[in-house]
Structure 1
Amino acid sequence: MTASPPSPEKPRMVVVGSGWRFLSGISYYTCRLSNALDSRFDVGVILMRQLLPTRLYPGRDRVGVSLNKLSYDPSVRVLDGVDWWAVPSLFRAVRFLRSFRPDVIVFQWWTGTVLHSYLVLCLVARLAGIKVVVEFHEVQDTGEAQHRWASLYCRKLIKPLLRRTDGVIVHSGFDRVALRATYGLDGVPDEIALHGPFDHHDRSASLTAAPPRPRAAGGSCRLLFFGTIRPYKGLEDLVQAFGQLPSHYTLTVVGETWEGWTLPAEMIADSSARDRITFVNRYVADSEVDEFFAAADVVVLPYRRSSASGPLHIAMSHGLPVVVTAVGGLVEAAEKYSGTTFVSAGSPSALAEAIVAASANAGRRHTDPSSWEESVAAFTRLFARLGLPVAQDAVITASSNQTVPLFSPDLR
């Protein structure tokens, strides 16, 4: 792909992140961020297409299947993409980078599988005088961290990348502390860019449906767990907590099993409350996402640890009450959201109590405080600190679909 000549009016940047073939939350984030940055910068995107051999990917059965409806704005120039074996895709990426001539390149960091490609693109960028920024979604993927050689590979080879990094973006103060403690980046400029809203799913079904009736005390309450099922997600705590709840509660679990973590599925099958649990054990398409959130009264995210959560931001964009554990970066992500009920991690009894408390909020739509404009402003501040010619006059607004709080039985 040949990039068209960049606009001379805006600073130029290239975002390097996850493509659509190995679909994940980072795929959506890379697209939403790039589209948001395009309001202020001339944006190009290099996508990581084939992250690793398909047979090694937890979601191998859906690799290459079109599940997303989100797309890049026409003004964003996209190269899709780079394969793990590099030849010839990495050479095309180098040509794209040289043709686009950005002032800064931003690498999305979420998995060590992209590290060798990032090192090449980073070296090319530095030789061309391009500033290098790394945006950390977490220090290291939890699944990779459990494997000794994968963990060692990342910890060793990321150091040459970080030595050539001019600036860092993180999603929370928690991540800033963890990153500095892990990699000693005290002298590298950084900025906190809170995760923007995930308000891009098709809402047509909920907008045309009849609004639900007000909830009476003791009336039906529909709980939703959404997201990949992994050891750190704490779904087993929710299944255990759900067994302690009264019979007017129902639970829908929507998620694809990763890392062979079948304990939650086994607990659902053995639960005395299994007749009130719906288990959708797959990665659902964008066209289905809104249906699950539209049918929920409370979203429950019982993570044992986490730096950020896409399902949390989907829930907030729908204005739903959320029960979320007070771990990692989730506190900063959800503390300004009026629909949040925080709970300690790893305690099914405390989780059950928090769910009962949160269900009192059913029928109220809460304002989503997150904003992509704030993310753009954080990048702009960092670029200014790096000496790039940027203006810092961005207007900050709330999420596009949650600008005012509404008090009504219609949660959607």
Structure 2
Amino acid sequence: MRITLVGPVHPYKGGGARHTTELAHRLAAAGHRVVVESWRAQYPAALYPGRQTVAEPEGPPFPHTRRDLAWYRPDGWYRVGRRAGRESDLVVLTVFTPVQVPAYLGVRAGCGRAARVAALCHNVLPHERGRFDAALMRLLLGRVDAVLTHSPQQRELAERLAGAAGPPVAAAELPPHLPDTGPRRPRPPGTRRRLLFLGIVRPYKGVDVLLRALAAGPPGVELTVAGEFWGGSAQLRALAEQLGVAHRVRWREGYVPAGELPDLFAECDAVVLPYRSATATQNVWLAHAHGLPVIATRVGTLPDHVRDGVDGLLCAPDDPEDLARAIADCYAPGRLAALRAGVRPVDADAYWDRYLAALTGLSG
């Protein structure tokens, strides 16, 4: 099959770019002819306050990639769509945010009826929604031929937005697309009494809940918060001061390149994901790849990836007391060693086989 993927790749950073790149490689390895249509300017800086690009790729780039899309060139959206329609049997629009919808509507218009067009929705709607997000997604879902989401809950949301006359909606679990972090660092025995939060810091990620749990949990446990802060760190720093735990929190602000991850994981005992809501995340698998158990909330797909009491611990979302209980449990005698022993790297191929079957099935 001839497939065009429309989405971010290097020099854009993070899970979205890694997913698009890995998907292209996997489809090509399965015998499909694949082209990636990517961006030279994806978002206005005002809409993405963090760092958008990185100098070094976080995995092998996909060779058949064009970068002709720019958020400020609507004429380019249509031209890319026309080209994709001529060259493809299936055009896949990778959707991360409603901000992309105007550009994707232009690409869709350019494709016309020459190719089947599918929306691959990483998030059907944002965790923190804006006034026009639902309306924009309704427009897009009403104009594509098929939709792929990453959970049954997201599929139901897409079906509600698209309405009875909307396209067929499928769900397939997001497969692993981990950064190439180089060799894993050897871990000396013993505990470090330090936990790690990794990723973009936004309200739905629950770092404030984690700070409250740190204050209520066992004394002497420290925390590293590593990632970009959406809107700055001042409010969370003030909360840490107010709770009396500021001296136990290390703030590592800014995007963490793949090459720095092994040292970051090596200095911590476990990764904590205190999310209030979630669709899917790579951070459980990333932690397990580095031998760390995970403390996570029961939201989204997190309970599917963390085996409670085996390779991690689960707790209620938005509940500092229950998270503090889980942290105390992690540091109970013998518990951390047992959780580490239960950690196993993910079998990526099995996830990708199911995912590719679902995606190529959208071709009709």
TM-score, normalization by structure 1? 0.78
**Does 2:98 align with 1:112?**
yes
User: Aligned equivalents of 1:185 and 1:313: distance in 2?
Assistant: 36
2:111 corresponding residue in structure 1:
125
Deviation for aligned residue 1:67: 5.2
User: Is the 1:321–1:358 Cα contact (8 Å) retained in structure 2?
Assistant: no
Structure 1 portions without partners, runs of 5+: 1-10, 388-412
Q: Which moved more, 1:323-332 or 1:108-117?
A: 323-332
- 1:262 Cα offset (Å): 3.9
- 1:243 corresponds to: 215
Task: Tell me the equivalent position of 2:123.
Answer: 138
> What's the counterpart of residue 199 of structure 1?
178
The aligned counterpart of 2:4 is 14
Q: Give the Å deviation of 1:108.
A: 1.1
Whole-Å Cα distance in 1 between the matches of residues 141 and 170 of structure 2?
Answer: 16
Contact 1:126–1:164 (CA<8 Å) still a contact in 2? no
2:40 is equivalent to residue 49 of structure 1: yes
CA apart distance, 1:234: 0.4
Is 1:257 the counterpart of 2:208 in the alignment?
no
Letter in 2 for 1:142: H
Number of residue pairs the alignment of both structures matches: 358
**Contact kept in structure 1, 2:150 and 2:173, CA below 8 Å:** yes
> Does residue 284 of the first structure (1) align with residue 269 of the second (2)?
no
AA aligned to 1:66 is A
Q: CA deviation at 1:94?
A: 3.7
Q: Distance in 2 between matches of 1:236 and 1:192?
A: 32
For residues 308 and 118 of structure 2, what CA distance do their matches in structure 1 show?
28
Question: CA 1:220–1:38 in 2, change beyond 3 Å: closer, same or farther?
Answer: same
Output the amino acid matched with 2:221: Y
Q: Does 1:377 align with 2:358?
A: no
Matches within 5 A, 1:215-226: 215=190, 219-226=191-198
1:354 aligned residue (292, 301, 326): 326
The aligned runs of 1:288-307 (5 Å cut-off) are 288-307=260-279
Contact 2:97-2:126 at 8 Å conserved across structures: yes
In structure 1, distance between residues paired with 2:61 and 2:36: 9
- In structure 2, distance between residues paired with 1:192 and 1:292: 34
TM-superposed deviation, 1:44: 1.1
8 A contact 2:141–2:166 mirrored in 1: no
**Pairwise CA distance, 1:339:** 1.4
Q: CA 1:125–1:176 in structure 2 vs 1: closer, same or farther (change >3 Å)?
A: same
- Work out the CA distance in 2 between the residues paired with 1:299 and 1:196: 20
* Residue number in structure 2 paired with 1:311: 283
Letter of the 2:25 partner, please give it.
N
Q: Deviations over 1:81-114 (max 9, x none)?
A: 4111125643652464256x11111111111222
Assess, with a 3 A threshold, how the Cα gap between structure 1 residues 17 and 284 changes in structure 2: closer, same or farther. Answer: same
Task: Report the alpha carbon displacement of residue 43 of structure 1 after superposing the two structures with TM.
Answer: 1.5
SS of corresponding position for 1:106: strand
Residue 336 of structure 2 aligns to a residue whose secondary structure is coil
For 1:155, give the aligned amino acid: A
Change (3 A) 1:69 1:338: same
- Tell me the distance in 1 between the aligned counterparts of 2:318 and 2:354: 36
SS at match of 1:38: helix
Amino acid at match of 2:239: M
Work out the CA distance in 2 between the residues paired with 1:137 and 1:23: 16
Tell me which of 72, 82, 90 is aligned to 2:77.
Answer: 90
* Inter-partner Cα distance in structure 1 for 2:65 and 2:96: 20
In the TM superposition, residue 256 of structure 1 has moved relative to its aligned partner by: 1.1
Aligned partners of 2:18 and 2:309: how far apart in 1?
22
CA contact (8 A) 2:192 2:267 kept: no
1:79 aligns with 2:56: no
Question: Structure 1 358/89 Cα, relative in aligned 2: closer, same or farther at 3 Å?
Answer: farther
Which whole-Å CA distance do the structure 2 matches of 1:50 and 1:39 have between them? 29
Q: Deviations over 1:259-278 (max 9, x none)?
A: 45643222234442332221
Residue pair 1:139, 1:178 contacting (<8 A) in 2 also:
yes
Structure-2 change in CA distance of 1:270 and 1:140 (3 Å): same
C-alpha distance in 1 between matches for 2:143 and 2:252: 44
Could you state the TM-score of these two structures normalised by the residue count of structure 2?
Answer: 0.87
Gaps of 5+ in 2: none
Q: Aligned partners of 2:278 and 2:234: how far apart in 1?
A: 20
Measure, in 1, the Cα distance between the counterparts of 2:18 and 2:286. 12
CA RMSD of aligned residues (A): 2.7
Deviations 1:271-321 (A, max 9, x none): 423322211011122211222123221100101111112323322332421
Q: Deviations over 1:322-354 (max 9, x none)?
A: 111111333345469941321101111100111
